[in-house]
Amino acid sequence: MPTLLADLTTLRLGGPAARVVTAGSSQELTAAVRAADRAGDPVLVVAGGSNLVVADAGWPGTVVLLRCDVAPFTVRDDGDRVLVTVQPGAVWDDLVAASVENGWSGLAAMSGIPGTAGATPVQNVGAYGSEVADVLQSVSVLDRYGESGGRRGVVETWTPQRCAFGFRTSAFKHTDRYVVLEVTLALARASVSGPVRYLEVARRLGIEPGGTAPNRAVRETVLDLRRSKGMVLDAADHDTWSVGSFFVNPFVTAELVPEGCPNFTVDGGIKLPAGWLIENAGFARGYGLDRGRGTVAISTKHTLALTNRGGATTAELLALAAEIRVGVQERFGIRLRPEAHLAGVEL
């Protein structure tokens, strides 16, 4: 029986993989990708599958199934910091939990994010005012192609500057040229968090925005908040059969900010909440369920999550996404783009 991508993704969607190779370490990941490239085989690296939308037809080449069969991370002292080098297949939330237990600060606000460490630099994963770029020291990268006429399969160490991080994006995001092999994070030795910037988290912690709190309290608060929004994986809860936020919050110019829409100035641009745009374009939580669609719907807990209610296809999910995107563009003149990685399909 062929391996179905539906069994490897949190959406539980996607057809068969032509070939599957398991890699349990960064070295095995490098070898697997190099071998597929030498054979001229299309490569799809799958770890947690929590940000992946795969075609119903499946993947025609090699799926490298990333696991962690070695120590998930190593630690080096660096004065008042520790440098934590993490395997690509290490479960991200396990690392966050370990950082809290060990008295390292910088990750607690990113608790509960599904997936593995190797995926975090790709879209500059973040939540509640924190993102990986805040703590990233370096990334080990396999350059599959090289420059025109250059070598193939070269491993390099990248600085944060070279990663070109932005809001939910990086130099790795829209290309298959690079594979992240290891991530090194610089974490402060501290039992308290950095500034808590996100208003709802600060309010639940009983502090002013910009204040600090014990890392353990930040983690527990964030996990509770994520659960309330269906953003902590639960096989019994169809609201978590998703890729989290399907659309990324858009950046717009001042004249495109809708009346009444919350907006935030970030790095000289104006960021709008995609969830507000979707809801105010007429797509409420649970949209799809109330229209008899049945198989796919917006989460009943979070407007940004598009969910598989059981028995769905990728085509049905993308049809819902397209309907929402068209509705938002017609209502506000703003075109949403997907945050999820689309494999073998387009929106």
pLDDT given at position 316: 95
**Which CATH number fits the domain that encloses residue 124?**
3.30.465.10
Q: What is the mean pLDDT of the chain?
A: 94
**Which CATH number fits the domain that encloses residue 39?**
3.30.43.10
Residue 216 belongs to a domain: yes
How many residues make up the chain in this entry? 347
> Cα(first)–Cα(last) distance of the chain, in Å?
30
pLDDT at 261 over 90: yes
Same domain, 245 and 328: yes
Q: How many folded domains does the chain comprise?
A: 3
What are 343's two structure tokens? 């494999």
User: Last residue of some domain: 205, 228, 251?
Assistant: 228
pLDDT given at position 260: 95
Same domain, 222 and 270: no
Residue 233 belongs to a domain: no
Same domain, 110 and 62: no
pLDDT given at position 150: 58
- pLDDT 10s digits, 310-335: 999 999 999 999 999 999 999 999 99
Residue 9 belongs to a domain: yes
- pLDDT 10s digits, 177-202: 999 999 999 999 999 999 999 999 99
Same domain, 77 and 224: yes
CA nearest 17: which of 49, 26, 318, 310?
49
Same domain, 88 and 220: yes
Same domain, 250 and 176: no
Same domain, 95 and 173: yes
User: Last residue of some domain: 174, 200, 228?
Assistant: 228
Same domain, 219 and 82: yes
Which residues span the domain enclosing 52?
5-66
Residue 209 belongs to a domain: yes
3-class state of residue 273 by DSSP? coil
* φ, ψ at 230 (rounded to 5°): 70, 30
Same domain, 259 and 155: no
Same domain, 277 and 175: no
Q: Name the maximum alpha-carbon separation found in the chain.
A: 59
Instruction: Compare 285 and 145 and report the one with higher pLDDT.
Output: 285
Same domain, 127 and 201: yes
Average pLDDT over residues 88-103: 98
pLDDT at 280 over 60: yes
Residue 338 belongs to a domain: yes
Known catalytic residues are 168, 245, 339
User: Last residue of some domain: 168, 197, 228?
Assistant: 228
C-alpha to C-alpha distance for 334 and 105, rounded to whole angstroms: 37
Same domain, 211 and 300: no
What are 336's two structure tokens? 């949403």
- pLDDT 10s digits, 134-164: 999 999 999 998 765 556 789 999 999 999 9
Lowest mean pLDDT among 184-193, 282-291, 333-342: 282-291
